[in-house]
Amino acid sequence: MCAHAELSAMRNLSGARHLQMVEAMAARVAVNGFGTIGKRVARAVMLQDDMELVGVTKTRPTYEARIANREGMPLYTIDDKQLSLFEKEGVRVDGVLQDLLTKVDIVVDCSPNGIGEANKKLYEEAGVKAIFQGGEEHELAGFSFNAFSSYDEAHDRKWARVVSCNTTGLIRTLYPLDRMFKVDEAFAAIIRRGADPAESKGSALNAVEPSLHVPTHHGVDVKTVLPWLNISTMAVKVPTTNMHVHCIHVKLRKNGVKTSDVLSLWDQMPRIRFVSGKHGIKTSGQIMEIARDLGRHSGDFAETVIWEDGTHVDDNSLYFYQAVHQESDVIPENIDCIRSMMGLEKDASRSIRKTDRSMGISK
């Protein structure tokens, strides 16, 4: 396909076309696990007119369980013993996971890393589809999802895995680059936040901690979605709570690409947003402040954020910084994944647009 046709194809991702609405019943959705990701997915499901949040689960009657009550989400727990404990603690609960699974079409598994395998058996027995998160291995679902690049491939699948926050962030910017200019090689150094804002135990204080197994799994994970991409990564953890920041160096195959070409390309993509040091946005903390100023729920910033004036092409080398909000960037991806797997919408760009509008994500 020529570059012009490519661009035109990608523009559709940001969604000008109006196809005929697929007539469908609302998908009945469960969210298994109600932590950082689970509570956000549940809230996003509630915002969709083609989905119904049937229930969420929590193993213990914690603060988060009380949130589910407060927000009117039907709450389920693990077994009868826990059920009594919830009642004793004054937390309303509607049953156990098994009950919940009988009432839904699909479950979004947001349980802690590594227990996806055990859960998968339960879902299989109950005959429900499931979406796992990036903390699980690709092999568990056999298919890894990103809305830009693999929406079509998720149609009617039984299992899918939405890749992690860092992987999602990398795909959003590298996929269009590769489509338009061909990427010969990409390298990213990932500066990871040490802990989420409400985690009571953090990373080391006053220290930087590298991920010693190099190249790190992040690049490998990008290839579960874009197997042809020549990418490698390294990563360090730093004592901050609010965003991952990526230093990215890309070798473009196409000659003569200018900085402005790259910026225009990204500008046409959904879920990418620019900030500028010239306007005073110099740190990841200031990016989060924009999300607060925009009145986003929880101060979340689901887009991949690029410093416009920190992007530069030098011959065939592209350098840029991007920031990824670890708590929220995968949320719209989960919604799109549900939509594709449940056959609610055939067209990627329409689903992305619908999701983004419902969540207040706009350019």
85 in contact with a second copy (CB under 8 A): no
106 or 170, CB closer to a second copy?
170
| Stretch of 138-146, 175-183, 194-202, 345-353 contacting a second copy, by CB under 8 A | 194-202
Measured CA to CA, the distance from residue 180 to residue 170 in angstroms comes to: 16
CB count within 10 Å of CB 184 equals: 13
233 or 349, CB closer to a second copy?
233
| Stretch of 8-16, 74-82, 199-207, 338-346 contacting a second copy, by CB under 8 A | 199-207
35 in contact with a second copy (CB under 8 A): no
Instruction: Give 179-182 contacts, CB < 8 A, sequence gap 24+.
Output: 179/6, 179/10, 180/3, 180/6, 180/7, 180/10, 180/254, 180/265, 181/252, 181/253, 181/254, 181/257, 181/261, 181/262, 182/252, 182/253, 182/254
In the annotation, is 247 catalytic? no
128 or 306, CB closer to a second copy?
306
293 in contact with a second copy (CB under 8 A): yes
Per CB under 8 A, the list member of 72, 81, 88, 295 interacting with a second copy is 295
203 in contact with a second copy (CB under 8 A): yes
Q: Are 329 and 296 in contact (CB under 8 A)?
A: no
194 in contact with a second copy (CB under 8 A): yes
In the region spanning residues 211 to 250, those forming contacts with a second copy, defined by CB under 8 A, are 211-212, 214-215, 232, 234-236, 238-243, 245, 247, 249
The residues facing 193 across adjacent strands are: 238
Per CB under 8 A, the list member of 176, 299, 324, 326 interacting with a second copy is 299
Question: What would the DSSP string read from start to end of 210-251?
Answer: E--SSS-HHHHHHHHH-TT--EEEEEEEES-SS-EEEEEEEE
Provide the minimum distance between the beta carbon of 242 and a second copy in the complex, in angstroms, as a whole number.
6
258 in contact with a second copy (CB under 8 A): no
280 in contact with a second copy (CB under 8 A): yes
Provide the minimum distance between the beta carbon of 119 and a second copy in the complex, in angstroms, as a whole number.
23
Q: Which of 2, 165, 247, 337 is an active site residue?
A: 165
88 in contact with a second copy (CB under 8 A): no
14 in contact with a second copy (CB under 8 A): no
Q: Is 67 left (phi over 0), alpha (psi -120 to 50) or beta?
A: alpha
Question: What would the DSSP string read from start to end of 332-358?
Answer: HHHHHHHHHHTTS-S-HHHHHHHHHHH
In the region spanning residues 61 to 80, those forming contacts with a second copy, defined by CB under 8 A, are 62-64, 66-67
326 in contact with a second copy (CB under 8 A): no
274 in contact with a second copy (CB under 8 A): no
172 or 296, CB closer to a second copy?
296
204 in contact with a second copy (CB under 8 A): yes
Q: Are 109 and 138 in contact (CB under 8 A)?
A: no
197 in contact with a second copy (CB under 8 A): yes
74 cis-preceded (ω within 30 degrees of 0): no
Radius of gyration of the chain (CA): 20
- Amino acid letter for position 96: V
For 120, the token pair is 């998968």
260 in contact with a second copy (CB under 8 A): no
Per CB under 8 A, the list member of 11, 14, 309, 346 interacting with a second copy is 309
283 in contact with a second copy (CB under 8 A): yes
Please list, residue by residue across 292-329, b when 16 or more beta carbons sit within 10 angstroms of its beta carbon and e when fewer do.
Answer: eeeebeebbbbbbbbbbeebebeeeebebbbbbbbbbb
Measured CA to CA, the distance from residue 11 to residue 149 in angstroms comes to: 13
Provide the minimum distance between the beta carbon of 99 and a second copy in the complex, in angstroms, as a whole number.
25
327 or 347, CB closer to a second copy?
327
- Residue positions annotated with a catalytic role: 165
